[in-house]
């Protein structure tokens, strides 16, 4: 690795899924990295990366970031909470806002006072809403319409960040990704992986929805582009692999990457919706059955950016050992 450049990046959330991958990638560039970790967290095998020094306790309105901000030119803020305890809607919103809104705006104010030039904020497509019509994707200039507490907390953070940045003359960049997948990711993607792994038959073969996703390598590549690209300043970008999939196509892609058969069979959508409602799983049914598409044409145009990794290659990277075993076995003459 060559000589470090003058640009110093503060990365938050380096012990999380996206932050850990981003820290590894930044460490291979000429940028200087400062990436404090949460007290008691394990930085996802990044412990040997230079720049992972210092710890913070809670991320909220009272967090002191000043000791990490000296000489920092750019902040990439990935730290967030995406799940809180099931409670009343008001309590959930309060818990999300404590970190996602108050914590973000506290960092932005201290960044402005410290002379930081650019603040890159990893937001969420949930700011736009929870679903789209088929073939009617979200656009970067659509009016926000969050439908849950998480989306509201991210929207409030976006709004406050823009106000702080404009008052201080600090550039902001906001990135709204959909579901992010990659090796060892948890959440909804991991649930789908486990269903394929266990060979569970799923009644989804005739679902014709379309959903946008983004592989971790593509998201990291876009975030790094947004740290320096002059046309990224004061913009909101939607992010995806630019290749939308139906739920059945995603499951087939996961199965192919794992070298396993996909066990899908048809069932009328209305039957699935009714069954999910009866067992209190309507939200899960929406994610499996409805469309959620993003139009990233403006992202590609302004940044001259194209996702470097295809969807199937991104899925293959999730299961390198399984894929290799499948390829080796296919060469055997039985």
Q: What is the pLDDT, as a whole number, of residue 331?
A: 40
Domains of the chain: 8-186+213-244+293-309 (3.40.50.720)
pTM of the model: 0.91
Q: Helix 320-330 vs helix 247-258: angle between axes, to the nearest 10 degrees? A: 70
In sequence order, which ranges of the chain are alpha helices (DSSP H)? 17-27, 66-69, 89-96, 104-113, 149-168, 187-197, 216-228, 247-258, 269-278, 282-289, 297-303, 311-318, 320-330
Q: What is the largest CA-CA distance in the chain?
A: 70
Determine contact, residues 71/8, Cβ cutoff 8 Å: yes
198 tagged catalytic? no
Query: How far is CA 96 from each of CA 62, 174, 180, 334, rounded to the nearest angstrom?
Result: 15, 18, 19, 56
What confidence tens digit (pLDDT) does each residue in 113-134 have? 999 999 999 999 999 999 999 9
Q: Which two tokens stand for residue 86?
A: 């099931």
Query: How far is CA 39 from each of CA 34, 42, 66, 185, rounded to the nearest angstrom?
Result: 16, 9, 17, 22
Q: What is the pLDDT, as a whole number, of residue 1?
A: 40
What confidence tens digit (pLDDT) does each residue in 133-174 have? 999 999 999 999 999 999 999 999 999 999 999 999 999 999
* 216 bridge partner residues: none
Q: How confident is residue 326, by pLDDT bands cut at 50, 70 and 90?
A: very low
What percent of the chain clears pLDDT 70, i.e. is strictly above it?
Answer: 88
Q: Which of 17, 65, 138, 150 is catalytic?
A: 150
What confidence tens digit (pLDDT) does each residue in 266-319 have? 999 999 999 999 999 888 899 999 999 999 999 999 999 999 999 999 999 999
């Amino acid at each position: 690795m060559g000589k470090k450049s003058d640009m110093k990046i503060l990365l938050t959330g380096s012990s999380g899924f996206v932050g850990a991958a981003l820290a590894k990638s930044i460490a291979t560039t000429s940028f200087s990295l400062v990436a404090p970790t949460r007290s008691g967290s394990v930085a996802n095998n990044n412990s040997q990366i230079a720049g992972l020094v210092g710890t913070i306790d809670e991320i909220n309105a009272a967090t002191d970031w000043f000791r990490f901000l000296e000489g920092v030119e750019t902040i990439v803020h990935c730290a967030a909470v995406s799940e809180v305890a099931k409670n009343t809607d008001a309590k959930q919103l309060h818990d999300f806002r404590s970190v996602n809104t108050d914590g973000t705006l506290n960092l932005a104010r201290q960044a402005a006072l410290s002379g930081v030039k650019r603040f890159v904020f990893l937001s969420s497509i949930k700011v736009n809403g929870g679903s789209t019509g088929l073939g009617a994707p979200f656009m970067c200039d659509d009016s926000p319409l969050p439908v849950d507490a998480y989306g509201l907390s991210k929207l409030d953070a976006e709004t406050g960040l823009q106000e702080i940045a404009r008052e201080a003359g600090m550039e902001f960049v906001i990135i709204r990704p959909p579901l992010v997948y990659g090796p060892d990711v948890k959440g909804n993607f991991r649930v789908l992986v486990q269903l394929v792994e266990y060979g569970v038959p799923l009644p989804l073969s005739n679902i014709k929805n379309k959903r946008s996703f983004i592989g971790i390598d593509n998201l990291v590549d876009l975030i790094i582009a947004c740290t320096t690209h002059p046309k990224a300043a004061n913009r909101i970008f939607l992010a995806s692999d630019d290749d939308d999939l139906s739920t059945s196509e995603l499951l087939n892609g996961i199965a192919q990457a794992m070298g396993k058969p996909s066990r899908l069979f048809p069932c009328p959508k209305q039957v699935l919706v009714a069954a999910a409602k009866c067992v209190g799983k309507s939200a899960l049914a929406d994610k499996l059955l409805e469309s959620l598409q993003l139009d990233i044409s403006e992202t590609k145009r302004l940044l001259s950016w194209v996702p470097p990794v295809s969807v199937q290659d991104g899925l293959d990277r999730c299961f390198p050992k399984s894929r290799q075993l499948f390829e080796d076995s296919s060469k055997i003459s039985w």
